[in-house]
Structure 1
Amino acid sequence: MVKLSNVTVAYGDRFILKDADFLIKSGDRIGLVGPNGAGKTTLLRVLASEEHADSGQALIDSGTVIGYFSQNVGEMQGRSALMEVIAGSGSVYEIGLELEALEHRMADTSQVFSDADMDRYGHLQTEFLARDGYDLTQRSEEILTGLGIGPDRFHEPVEHFSGGWKMRIALAKILALNPDVLLMDEPTNHLDLESIIYLESWLSSFKGDVVMTSHDRQFMTRICFRTVEVANGQVTSYSGDYDFYIREREIRRQQLIATFNRQQARFAKDEEFIAKFAARASHASLVQSRIKALEKIERITLPPESKIMQVQFTPCTRSGDQVVVMKDLTKRWPMAQGGQHTVFENISATVMRGNKIALTGINGAGKSTLLKVIVGLTQPTSGEASLGASVNLGYFSQYSSDVLDPNKTIFEEVSERVPMSTIPIIRSMLGSFLFSGDDVDKKIGNLSGGEKSRVMLACMLALPVNFLVLDEPTNHLDIQSREVLLDALSRFEGTLMIVSHDRYFLKHLANRVFELDKAVLNIYEGDYAYYLHKSGRE
């Protein structure tokens, strides 16, 4: 059992958690939800003993092993990917090394092996068995493979991996640890769809307790059957999954508003009585009684509404019926060791006006490259991709360096794209993407991933577009912002091509699916559910 009691964490005069209670029971699968910056990560850090509360208690049963995956992977160097995962199992790895050393001593007849050594060996072996230590290497290999790092990269130095792949290694370390309580902060970031499905399967068979945050609604709904909201310093539990939480939260809010309104009506009535009879000596005792009664009542306060992003498309002209025509399109990249890597070859397809196309495929299949060829950011090796008549293109890249200038402010970046707009109009548009006041003067290079995503969306929507090309637009957006964007894209009257690992997003949006698989483009003339069924990926 893990329990937080009356925990308070404050940064300066801002309370992140205030007198918060939190309990993890045996078998719990908890999804942590709440606005960005509300304190979900702080709560996880307190549970993992990586941050200490200003007051209150954190109670953890003796011997409980807690594994914590965070977005900060720390330094990784000096080991292969596989050894990094094995070593990340902490005490299990250390016990394995000590057992190995004792076994070497036992085999060496020139050394004395005492009764104390034998007792120590037996104790270590029992603990090693209990934590599945003898399966550690095999378990580590299976998890790495499931997360997209195959046997051909097991022995590659971790320094050779990019930040996103290091995240996968860090996640594999925590899973291989096989802890009693698994804490995960956005585990699906940097994972492709296949890796997300593997992680979902792994967690479904995991015997320990799980507490996690995730912006992937379907992933969290399938794993977590209890939801805990962190907002305004408070921690509130809901005995159901995310869909249940959405419904129940609204019911509770409406009940709170009704109670608040009744209380305000009573206050108004009492205050009117006090004002009317305050000057009359004959009513002095009654007036004082009302005043004392009012002072004793605990006043209900309504929590502030969370700010949410507002997406509004600028009206645009209608494009021609054929938006993109790809004919015999091939793209090859030169390889460092010589030769060329074929990303895709001889693909032909037509994107028609009104299509909402999900572009799918494993990481490295070439999805981003195909989008860049379509929007003209890179040239094909052969073949052509031509835009149709009256097509106005808007492109969102998951790599902000493709689109944004890190040396410009938010205001400068957006205003240069709409030079005819006035300052109030630009500020109003930025406000709809949650940038207000001095926020608009922040440098692009200093923004978080979520802030950069919102700036790119603002830049893209500042101009009238009828063809949207979106490469992972939901990365770094919280669930609420994702749903606002989903609603806007569902109402968008133009044409759309999108790469996303968010299955909920694609299921509610796509009406065609293009799948890149082994340099070939497979086309599915149906929605995302149809694609999953026909491709056998359900």
Structure 2
Amino acid sequence: MIHLTNISKQHGSQVLFQNASCQILPGSRGGLVGPNGAGKTTIFRLITGEEQADAGEISCSKKTVIGYFSQDVGEMAGRSALAEVMAASAKTMALGAEIQAMEAAMCEPMSDEALAELLARYGDAQEEFEHRGGYDLESRAQAVLTGLGIGPDAHQRPVESFSGGWKMRIALARILTLNPDVLLLDEPTNHLDVESIIWLENWLSTEFKGALLMTSHDRDFMNRIVTRIIEVANRSVTTYSGNYDFYLREREIRREQLLASYQRQQEMLAKEEEFIARFAARASHAAQVQSRVKKLEKIERIELPPEQRSIRFSFSEPPRSGDDVVRIENLGKVWPLPEGGEHPVFSGVSGLIRRGEKIAVVGVNGAGKSTFLKVLAGNTAPSAGSAVIGANVHVGYFSQHSMEVLDPKKSVFETVQDAMPQAGVGVIRNLCAAFLFCGDDVDKRIDKLSGGEKSRVVLATLLAQPLNFLILDEPTNHLDIQSREILLEALRNFAGTVVLVSHDRHFLRSLVNRVFEVDHGEMRTYEGDYAYYLQKSGREMCAA
């Protein structure tokens, strides 16, 4: 369907690909992986024609419809949410109008030759209209919007009235409704809650029949959808048959085999070079020496890709808190509405958070999870009841707004140093490295960092302080899979108490031992891990 053959691409002095090849086959489900900056987005842009390769060939059928969802949604204004979604299928709508015009023309008298020509054009247009899903375009747009969490009551709302995160959902709905032959998705699960992620999984698995290539930082999502992995790294593109977990295992096996081949080649080269050095000056061995020199010149040297360094940092033991970390009694919260009146978020919540627990707060978007965390952290006062912090509890709070309070003029090193002023340079650099800031990266200014890098800085400063109660609102947002694994390992080893909101199911399944569910203003407690919650709440089948 789409073939990239011997592609080379360079951005400035950085070489992204050299003679790289891959293909997208009809109906295939591919995951695009690789370190930040390796060229994943460039692959998408090459396929869509937004960038041109320096060398090589990209072949694609002219009739192939490509849908590309990126994090840059552009401006949206002047339409309802539903109209905005349908506008992406402008060609399909134009075909529908053309078919109607041709049907009207058929009712008028004309010559046999003209009628035959009109019928031929009508047949071609109808075939393409059906191929693009034109007959159920509006119903499909409504179903996709609803599945992504924008219900029928919001379909006619002006698109400019939605926040940035909800506009991302509308942009995703535009591409899904297009029903393309090839679907390119760049981080489609960002800004989606678990329910919407599960809906998208089911839609891609059962409704979408085209080819798919996507990037995602959600490990579970990748494992459930993709059947092949395309790795972009070290100026090359490598394909693995299997899901993400298979890719991790297979990559390690291939690396061990490459290392063994490299060591054998190095031993052979050492012997040959020793022979050449020993007998280079002897006339009796001149022919043998020349033969071996030529042999070495022809050998293709095996290169080992650079190691992905994984640095472990031992966090200091936080001060021990009392056994009762937070005692909650009849807690309630309402927000005042701009037009007057109040919006009840939750009420009558009672319970106890105990020392050492790792608790997930779950529920649909808008259920009140973030508000509950704000009340626990003391960032907003409850409207009713109380949340009393226990003895010797030191609270650390992370939210998406935490990144906004970073000093943009300071470097990564200076920011982390402020959090642990008594630590030496080596300890601070080691902590920075544990959160993937190595070498000169520690000298980067905060205002030059991406959203994911800023998240890692804030999380590093939190875990560096003598805190024993962490309240984390979406700490995995903007983090790639490697960064999520680093945070997961840090929180597993954290001796204090954690309450968090996250839409990453692998993260929750690997960490939490208790679940609070916020639903329709009430809170239910599940005394077990995330798998136990899915089973007891009846959401296990949905998650499957």
TM-score by length of 2: 0.94
Note closer, same or farther for the CA distance 1:140–1:101 as it changes in structure 2 (3 Å cut): same
Of all paired residues, the percent bearing the same amino acid is 60
CA distance in 2, matches of 1:308, 1:46: 32
Worse overlay, 259-268 or 46-55: 46-55
Q: Which amino acid aligns with 1:3?
A: H
- SS state at 1:508 partner: helix
Worse overlay, 148-157 or 312-321: 312-321
Q: 1:400·1:452 contact (CA, 8 Å) conserved in 2?
A: no
Kindly report which structure 2 residues correspond to 1:11-30, keeping only aligned pairs within 5 A, or say none.
Answer: 11-30=11-30
Deviations 1:252-289 (A, max 9, x none): 10010011011111111111122222222222222222
Residue number in structure 1 paired with 2:487: 485
Residue number in structure 1 paired with 2:32: 32
Note closer, same or farther for the CA distance 1:171–1:310 as it changes in structure 2 (3 Å cut): farther
Q: Which amino acid aligns with 1:77?
A: A
Q: What is the deviation of 1:341?
A: 1.1
1:340 corresponds to which of 332, 339, 342: 342
Worse overlay, 121-130 or 83-92: 121-130
- SS state at 2:160 partner: helix
RMSD, aligned α-carbons:
2.1
Residue number in structure 1 paired with 2:467: 465
Residue number in structure 2 paired with 1:329: 331
Deviations 1:410-446 (A, max 9, x none): 3333222223334443333223222244433433233
Could you list the runs of 5+ residues in structure 1 that have no partner in the other structure? none
CA distance in 1, matches of 2:481, 2:162: 29
Residue number in structure 2 paired with 1:163: 164
Q: What is the deviation of 1:528?
A: 0.7
Kindly report which structure 2 residues correspond to 1:509-524, keeping only aligned pairs within 5 A, or say none.
Answer: 509-524=511-526
1:396 corresponds to which of 391, 395, 398: 398
CA distance in 2, matches of 1:215, 1:90: 31
Q: Which amino acid aligns with 1:375?
A: A
Worse overlay, 419-428 or 295-304: 419-428
Q: Which amino acid aligns with 1:165?
A: W
Kindly report which structure 2 residues correspond to 1:400-479, keeping only aligned pairs within 5 A, or say none.
Answer: 400-401=402-403, 403-479=405-481
Matched, 1:378 2:380: yes
CA distance in 1, matches of 2:242, 2:101: 49
Could you list the runs of 5+ residues in structure 2 that have no partner in the other structure? none
2:243 corresponds to which of 241, 244, 248: 241
- SS state at 1:416 partner: helix
Q: 2:332·2:345 contact (CA, 8 Å) conserved in 1?
A: yes
Residue number in structure 1 paired with 2:187: 186
Residue number in structure 1 paired with 2:146: 145
CA distance in 2, matches of 1:309, 1:327: 42
Note closer, same or farther for the CA distance 1:401–1:481 as it changes in structure 2 (3 Å cut): closer
Q: Which amino acid aligns with 1:161?
A: F
Q: Which amino acid aligns with 2:307?
A: E
Note closer, same or farther for the CA distance 1:102–1:313 as it changes in structure 2 (3 Å cut): farther
Deviations 1:200-221 (A, max 9, x none): 0000111111111111111110
Q: What is the deviation of 1:309?
A: 6.5
Kindly report which structure 2 residues correspond to 1:81-230, keeping only aligned pairs within 5 A, or say none.
Answer: 81-100=81-100, 115=115, 119-205=120-206, 206-230=208-232
Deviations 1:272-319 (A, max 9, x none): 122222222222222222211111111111000124465542222221
CA distance in 2, matches of 1:93, 1:334: 42
Note closer, same or farther for the CA distance 1:107–1:324 as it changes in structure 2 (3 Å cut): farther
Q: 2:515·2:529 contact (CA, 8 Å) conserved in 1?
A: yes
Worse overlay, 95-104 or 158-167: 95-104
Note closer, same or farther for the CA distance 1:349–1:104 as it changes in structure 2 (3 Å cut): farther
Deviations 1:61-110 (A, max 9, x none): 2311111111111222221110111111242122123345556777899x
- SS state at 1:143 partner: helix
Q: 1:310·1:433 contact (CA, 8 Å) conserved in 2?
A: no
Q: Which amino acid aligns with 2:48?
A: A
Q: What is the deviation of 1:139?
A: 0.3
CA distance in 1, matches of 2:324, 2:205: 44
Worse overlay, 324-333 or 196-205: 324-333
Note closer, same or farther for the CA distance 1:166–1:307 as it changes in structure 2 (3 Å cut): farther
2:533 corresponds to which of 521, 531, 534: 531
Q: Which amino acid aligns with 1:482?
A: R
Q: Which amino acid aligns with 1:159?
A: E
Worse overlay, 304-313 or 236-245: 304-313
Q: 1:35·1:306 contact (CA, 8 Å) conserved in 2?
A: no
Q: What is the deviation of 1:245?
A: 0.9
- SS state at 1:279 partner: coil
- SS state at 2:511 partner: coil
Q: Which amino acid aligns with 2:132?
A: R
CA distance in 1, matches of 2:127, 2:299: 59
CA distance in 2, matches of 1:401, 1:268: 53
Q: What is the deviation of 1:388?
A: 1.2
Q: Which amino acid aligns with 1:145?
A: T
Q: 1:308·1:481 contact (CA, 8 Å) conserved in 2?
A: no
- SS state at 1:265 partner: helix
Q: Which amino acid aligns with 1:481?
A: S
Q: 1:329·1:383 contact (CA, 8 Å) conserved in 2?
A: yes
Q: What is the deviation of 1:28?
A: 0.9
TM-score by length of 1: 0.95
CA distance in 1, matches of 2:393, 2:405: 20
Deviations 1:135-175 (A, max 9, x none): 00000000000001111211112111121111111110111
- SS state at 2:231 partner: strand
Q: Which amino acid aligns with 2:82?
A: L
Residue number in structure 1 paired with 2:48: 48
Residue number in structure 2 paired with 1:282: 284
Worse overlay, 268-277 or 307-316: 307-316
Kindly report which structure 2 residues correspond to 1:499-514, keeping only aligned pairs within 5 A, or say none.
Answer: 499-514=501-516
